[in-house]
Amino acid sequence: MSDTLIIVNFKTYEGSQGFSAEALARAMESIDTDARLVAAVSALDLSKVVEAAPDLEVWCQHLDPIGFGSNTGWLHPETAIHRGAKGTLINHAEHKVSLEHVAMLLDQVPEGFEICACAADINEARALAALVPNYVAVEPPELIGGDISVTSADPEIVSGTASAVMETSDQVGVLCGAGVKSGLDVSRAMELGVRGVLLASGVTKSSDPVEALNDLVSLL
């Protein structure tokens, strides 16, 4: 049984929004693997993706630590949970927030709802790990969306983050991302000491998402 976690961030790519998001979720649901596949989707697509792929684990791309009331444009955790979200990303390089934001969100969500906090480097990963989210994902911003995986371009940041997080809290799992596109990238990530990967364009921009997904899990 694989313990590998693979989070596919749908972002706002044209091929992973609206009806395309539902189709991509169904493609993820169809993959025969022991790895844990998670779709991180737009809040606008959340309920439809959950409905389209009921056996797939679906997360939000972002949430805000707010209560009910006058909060125009903010994303309420309880609403997301009601609509089927099982977790969320937070502090992605494309949507940075404060440590206080992350801490307040962790305090607000119920037990069992998972949070993956994203970090740009080892120091930020260590600071986030001290808050004890479920996962910390290290993603060097300059490699995000590129053609070279972090596991090849900067393996030291992956292994260094794994060590730093473990020293800070053994309750926090470590992921890595940026440029991850293949089964070899995933295998290298695991060898460097992390629990899985966070990726986007390797699947969302692929001309054949099923083939891309099967490749990602091929060496597990």
Please pick, among 92, 95, 124, 142, the residue that the annotation labels catalytic.
92
Residue 163: exposure state from Cβ atoms within 10 A (0-12, 13-18, ≥19): middle
- 139 is an active site residue: yes
What are the distances in angstroms from CA 129 to CA 3, 58, 147?
Answer: 20, 23, 28
- Active-site pick, 22, 139, 156, 191: 139
Is residue 191 annotated as part of the catalytic site, yes or no? no
Handedness of CA 103, 105, 107, 112 (dihedral sign): negative
Catalytic residue IDs: 92, 139
